[in-house]
Amino acid sequence: MVRLFRDERFSGLTLDSLKRDAIAGITVGIVAIPLGMAFAIASGVKPEYGLYTTIIAGILVALFGGSRFQVAGPTGAFIPILLAIVLQYGYENLLIAGLMAGVMLIVMGLFKLGGLIKFIPRSVTIGFTSGIAVIIFTGQIGNFLGLEGLEKKEYFHENMLELAHNISGINGYSILTAMIGLFVIITIPRIFPKVPVLLAALMVPTIVAIVFYPGQTATIGSAFGGIAQSLPGFRFPDITWEKIMMLWQPAFVIAMLGGIESLLSAVVSDGMTGKRHNSNRELVGQGIANVVTPMFGGIPATGAIARTATNIKSGAVSPFSGVFQGVFVLATLLILAPYASNIPLASMAPILMVVAYNMSEHRSFAHILKLKTSDSIVLAATFLLTVFVNLTVAVQIGLLLAAVSFIKRMSEVFEVETVMPSLLKQQAANGAEEHGASCPEIAFYTIDGPLFFGAADKFESMITRSINRRPQVLILKMKHASIMDATAANNLGALVTDFTNVGGRVLIAEVNDDVRAMLDASGLYDQIGAEHFFSHSSEAVDYALELINTRKCTRCGRKGEGGCQVFQPSNVLEDLSRADVSG
């Protein structure tokens, strides 16, 4: 505990700071209460489980996370995956999946993988976020219309068919209740901007329903039997190896989704305050919260962007604002839980619908779709799979498509270009026209781009054409070859072997340290020979001119010349220097 408060996030605190944190925490708590219950209900569990998560995760992430202002709790992004787990495996197994996800997040943080989250393409995140928004929005149509007895299904189309089959059971009182809530959400921020709009959108329709048409709409009490006026006791989930093997995939998706959203929220927080978060510590904090929360019946949690922004705007100074938020929600649960039974489910529908609309990022979705590039395909595939299959498959396929698209684009960027023709043209202007446009004994190529498996075939085919013309020397200028992987090294090794078997020599010029290390590790450095590596391409050409047997040259040999007549060393060095400046 002493070490905890040495954390620079807690430095410089005063009584005034704690007062401001308390005010911010209460403000966020007021927002978090309706959201916690609504997200839990939408996830297929009792509303109090969302409050338990808000309390425990909120406090633990504040104390052990890596962001000064992060507020954690249940979020809308988790709804589809949590609902799918509940429907397929049950609530008890959801707790195990959440705990496993927490362990994964801790491991990710300890191995400093926080920075890797940023490599997930925006087309994938926008795709599944928009898909989640559609699922949340459509999932509330039943409560908005007051349809009772709806059976929640695993797949989107099944839920739509269930709505269609029960459409005759529309409840006008529920629609009125939901419309009042929607009206409050739209108008209150304009008229009374300081009033907590979500709490007002929950309370106003509830009061109207109780006063004017009591018992005419489904409520938390009628659907879930009310909310317990206490925290549940500590209970470690019954974990078995079979359950671990069964749940590791959904647990991994929870961990990845939680990591993405929490770090995104931390980045938003940094942008609003000018502070810097520790991404790896944030993952560890989120992991601790998700390990502990299931032991008290809570569902998975992550950093909540809207609540974090509210925390900052409310004047938070330190992570204690997150602690005060948890304490406030706990006090509210202990004091007011019995009254929550009267809240109509229809009053929660517009809250979740507005949350879904806000998280849909419809403008970004439309923009990427209009690009009509591979990103558009990745976006559409991720979105459709999220909606019609599940989030687990959507993320896997989306990342796979994005990786394939990236490899394709990188392979297109890779270039193998011949340098000699341009030099010959320059020399031709100086009076070497009679020697033609190329030297048959020297093949000189520049390698531009990453030498990896996606470009290996292009590299091999280009160089093979030179070998087929049987030059005496092959020069590879690798100044702009940024990396080389094992596949490219293997292909180059095969080319070197084939070329030397027919009496040729391979010279390497201007190779960087990373590529040289791969050549050394693969044995190619020794195979080519240290004396055939040059720090400058002009040196390689000068050495190549010494190797050329002009009597065997198809051009100079038949003219009976004693030296190369195409490339005079002084001209070649001058032209290569000029080429190096431009390239």
**What are 19-71's pLDDT values in tens digits?**
999 999 999 999 899 999 999 999 999 999 999 999 999 999 999 999 999 99
Residues 6+ apart with CB under 8 A from 239: 96, 99
Residue 379 falls inside a structural domain: yes
Same domain, 48 and 111: yes
What is the length of the chain? 583
Angstrom distances, CA of residue 95 to CA of 42, 249, 464: 16, 14, 58
pLDDT at residue 549, as a whole number: 67
Same domain, 527 and 501: yes
Residue 151 has pLDDT above 60, yes or no: yes
pLDDT at residue 555, as a whole number: 61
Same domain, 142 and 178: yes
Same domain, 359 and 449: no
Same domain, 572 and 543: yes
Give the residue with greater pLDDT, 434 vs 311.
311
Give the residue with greater pLDDT, 517 vs 547.
517
Helical ranges in 337-413 per DSSP H: 345-359, 362-371, 374-388, 391-413
Residue 561 falls inside a structural domain: yes
Residue 187 falls inside a structural domain: yes
**Kind of pairing between the strands at 72-73 and 302-303:** antiparallel
Q: What is the CATH number of the domain that holds 444?
A: 3.30.750.24
Same domain, 340 and 444: no
Least confident of 30-44, 481-495, 547-561: 547-561
**H-run or E-run covering 303:** strand 302-303
pLDDT at residue 557, as a whole number: 56
Residue 79 has pLDDT above 60, yes or no: yes
pLDDT at residue 2, as a whole number: 44
Separation of alpha carbons 129 and 386, rounded Å: 9
Same domain, 381 and 419: no
Domain's final residue, options 368, 402, 436 = 402
Same domain, 370 and 452: no
Cα–Cα nearest to 100, from 240, 278, 265: 240
Same domain, 380 and 420: no
**Kind of pairing between the strands at 415-418 and 442-448:** antiparallel
Confidence band, pLDDT 50/70/90 cuts, at residue 470: confident
pLDDT at residue 436, as a whole number: 35
Domain housing 578? 415-582
Residue 403 has pLDDT above 60, yes or no: yes
Q: What mean pLDDT is predicted for residues 78-90?
A: 92
Number of domains, the chain? 2
Do residues 312 and 273 touch, judged by C-beta distance below 8 A? Answer: yes
Give the residue with greater pLDDT, 224 vs 470.
224
Residue 572 falls inside a structural domain: yes
Q: For residue 182, what are the β-bridge partners?
A: none
Give the residue with greater pLDDT, 435 vs 269.
269
Residue 562 has pLDDT above 80, yes or no: no
Residue 5 falls inside a structural domain: no
Domain's final residue, options 373, 402, 431 = 402
Confidence band, pLDDT 50/70/90 cuts, at residue 119: confident
Same domain, 177 and 293: yes
Residue 568 has pLDDT above 80, yes or no: no
Domain's final residue, options 348, 378, 402 = 402
To which residue do tokens 């590790």 refer? 521
Confidence band, pLDDT 50/70/90 cuts, at residue 431: very low
Confidence band, pLDDT 50/70/90 cuts, at residue 524: very high
Do residues 48 and 228 touch, judged by C-beta distance below 8 A? Answer: yes
Angstrom distances, CA of residue 159 to CA of 83, 139, 352, 527: 12, 8, 17, 64
Tens-place pLDDT, residues 329-384: 999 999 988 888 899 999 999 999 999 998 888 999 999 999 888 999 999 999 99
Do residues 272 and 305 touch, judged by C-beta distance below 8 A? Answer: no
pLDDT at residue 110, as a whole number: 94
Q: What is the DSSP letter of 119?
A: G
| 314: three-class secondary structure by DSSP | coil
Residue 430 has pLDDT above 80, yes or no: no
Same domain, 578 and 467: yes
Confidence band, pLDDT 50/70/90 cuts, at residue 289: very high
Residue 286 falls inside a structural domain: yes
Q: What mean pLDDT is predicted for residues 187-201?
A: 90
**Kind of pairing between the strands at 533-534 and 442-448:** unpaired
Residue 575 has pLDDT above 60, yes or no: no
Residue 122 has pLDDT above 90, yes or no: no
The chain-wide mean pLDDT, for the chain, equals: 86
pLDDT at residue 1, as a whole number: 44
Same domain, 55 and 183: yes
Residue 55 falls inside a structural domain: yes
Residue 250 falls inside a structural domain: yes
